[in-house]
Structure 1
Amino acid sequence: MVIPVHDVNPARRTPFVTYALIGANVLVFLATPGVAASLVGESSLTQLCQLQAFLDEWAAVPREMLHDRTPTVVPTGDVAVGPQGPGCVVGPPDYDKSPPLSVLTAMFLHGSWLHLLGNMLFLLIFGNNIEDRLGHVRYLLFYVVCGYAAAYAFALVNATSGDPLIGASGAIAGVLGAYLVLYPKARVWVLVPFLIFLPLRLPAWLVLGFWFGLQAVYSSGAGVSEAGTVAYLAHVAGFVAGMLLAWPLRPGTPPPPEPRGLLWGRQARPRQTWRPR
């Protein structure tokens, strides 16, 4: 797996929406119950029950999305001791949940720091150029539409699943798909783990094509031991949705600048030409 760190594709305008999305994701993550414990890898039963109750209220659940029905009994966030030992208390929900709206709120929820930082890195690198091409308002609508397409595609294939679906990955995958369509020849600096992290400047079509290929393979369950813990199918669906939405804009998109004389991030000295006197 390659790690992108920078693209050679400057934007003309400040990506205010991309920055706002990153800020909102970070703030929501910090407000999620149990985040403090995740920093040290320890969580109490109370924190786990509170997290489960939080996700049941705000995360998207496939069977709820497709049938527009919510359960009558949910975790309350409290802990009680029963015959089987301590556990999470369940009871009637004290909130009204809208399954379609939960798809939107789920886009700002993340399960770990690694999950959050990985998503925000891709959004920061590739989102600014898509926002620059679409404009602020259209970019925000594009982001949300890709997120919904990814979530409902996953739900259709997992119609009976009661597991919460969280993360901005589907929407960000749409951004990556649009970038592949609009800027396939843009150069992207990546770190390739080969004994050490080797920096390389690769074309976007290779970086993003490789990423999409991995998601497609993983979505089939191949190459992963726990395919059900990550919604790889949502990544695939979001990517394809982004490609389709961006395709009509392809003819009018100016090509990215072609970097010249760059060698490992530094300006290479021009080769000296010797002329006979």
Structure 2
Amino acid sequence: MFPIRDHNPSGRTPYVTYMLMAANIGIFLSYVGLFNDPRALNFFFSEYAAIPARIKSGEGLGTLISSMFLHGGWMHLAGNMLFLWIFGDNVEDEMGHLPYLVFYIATGVAAGLVQIVSAPYSIIPTVGASGAIAGVMGSYLLLYPKARIDILLILIVFFRIFPVPAWIVLALWFGMQFVGGISADLTAGGVAYWAHAGGFVAGALLTAPLWLARGGRGYWRRTHGHPPHPEAVYSVSRTPKVRR
């Protein structure tokens, strides 16, 4: 079960979201050939990925930013870009282009710092835009808790798309990161659960002043918890049509 789209296109072109997606995809394509050479790939990640033990010693602070534009594979990249595309446009629309860019970088750095605190002596490289995108998701939850998100549910041979409120999708996602962080072996590598959770919380906290400036709960009452734009109408057939 994972989200595939929301029902609220932004009111203006989300240039920064598109730019971030293009940067992530372009940078990945620039080094994707290294996956055929593990030694070269490890050297590349040792230079540009965020390594907690290295940063804790005061070195490689710039990797907190460079690591945000690196990914460990095609599916890693595709999943992150899907989530950025779904949630980024409305947050950018509400914040404005430049503040949104600063917000994105700030939440990504915050996510990286949380990951370092969770495993300060780890020498495993951390890569991915997930922490920054988690910040965008935390912001989206605070601003638009009742926005409709289309979920694709796959149960073996059963496929179904149905809309659910954003707060259910995002609360479940955050809960999975929290539980995953508690149960994960931080020395073994894998998913950076605490970076995700930290980015999500940082995103909500950094958005709180904007939410309060819009009126807090009054903003929710005015917008009914949705982005202030007309909803998109999607044609979804519940029953497949098979020709005779």
* TM-score relative to the length of structure 2: 0.85
More helix by share: 2
Q: Could you tell me which runs of 5 or more consecutive residues in structure 1 were left unpaired when the two chains were aligned.
A: 38-42, 70-98, 267-277
- Opposite residue 57 of structure 2, the aligned amino acid is H
The CA RMSD measured in Å over matched residues stands at 2.3
Matched ranges for 1:46-65 at <5 A: 47-65=37-55
Change over 3 Å in CA distance of 1:258–1:54 after alignment to 2: closer
Give the Cα separation in 1 of the matches to 2:17 and 2:106. 15
The structure whose residues are more often strand, as a share, is 1
**Of the candidates 140, 164, 167, which is equivalent to residue 205 of structure 1?**
167
1:175-190 correspondence runs (5 A): 175-190=136-151
After superposition, residues 239-250 of structure 1 pair within 5 angstroms as: 239-250=200-211
Tell me the equivalent position of 2:24. 25
1:146-195: CA deviation from partner (whole Å, max 9, x where unpaired): 00100011101211111111100000000000000000010011101223
**Do structure 1's residue 101 and structure 2's residue 53 form an aligned pair?**
no
1:197 deviates by 2.3
Q: 1:133 to 1:263 in 2, by over 3 A?
A: closer
My pick for the range that moved more, 209-218 or 119-128, is 209-218
Check 1:136–1:258 CA distance in 2 against 1; reply closer, same or farther (3 A cut): closer
* Aligned residue in 1 for 2:180: 218
Structure 2 CA distance for partners of 1:159 and 1:12, relative to 1, 3 Å: same
Give how far 1:28 is off: 0.7
- Relative contact order higher in (CA < 8 Å, ≥ 6 apart): 2
Within 2, Cα distance between the matches of 1:10 and 1:121? 14
Q: CA deviation at 1:248?
A: 2.1
SS at match of 2:66: helix
Question: Is residue 10–residue 229 contact of structure 2 (8 Å, CA) maintained in 1?
Answer: no
Retained in 2: the 8 A contact 1:18–1:128? yes
Q: Deviations over 1:46-73 (max 9, x none)?
A: x11110111111111111112213xxxx
- Give the whole-Å Cα distance in 1 for the aligned partners of 2:188 and 2:159: 27
SS class of match (1:34)? helix
How far is the alpha carbon of 1:258 from its aligned partner? Answer: 9.1
Matches of 2:201 and 2:43, distance apart in 1: 33
Note the alpha carbon deviations across 1:26-58, whole angstroms, 9 max, x for none: 1111111535x6xxxxx3xxx111101111111
Residue 151 of structure 1 aligns to a residue whose secondary structure is helix
Give the Å deviation of 1:129.
Answer: 0.4
Aligned 8 A contact 2:137 2:200 in 1 = yes
**Counterpart of 2:163 in structure 1: which amino acid?**
R
Contact 1:33 1:54 in 2 (8 A): no
Q: Match for 1:153 among 106, 114, 128?
A: 114
Query: Partner letter of residue 132 of structure 2?
Result: A
SS in 2 for 1:174: helix
Counterpart CA distance in 2 for 1:128 and 1:6 is 11
Report the Cα distance in structure 1 between the residues aligned to 2:230 and 2:155, rounded to whole angstroms.
Answer: 25
CA distance in 2, matches of 1:131, 1:258: 14
Could you report, residue by residue, the CA deviation over 1:121-159 in whole angstroms, capped at 9, with x for unpaired residues? 000000000000110100000000000100011101211
Q: What are structure 2's unaligned runs of at least 5 residues? A: 238-244
The percent identity for this pair of structures is 46
Q: How does 1:130-169 map to 2 (within 5 A)?
A: 130-169=91-130
Between Structure 1 and Structure 2, whose CA radius of gyration is higher?
Answer: 1
Distance in 2 (CA, whole Å) between partners of 1:20 and 1:227 is 33
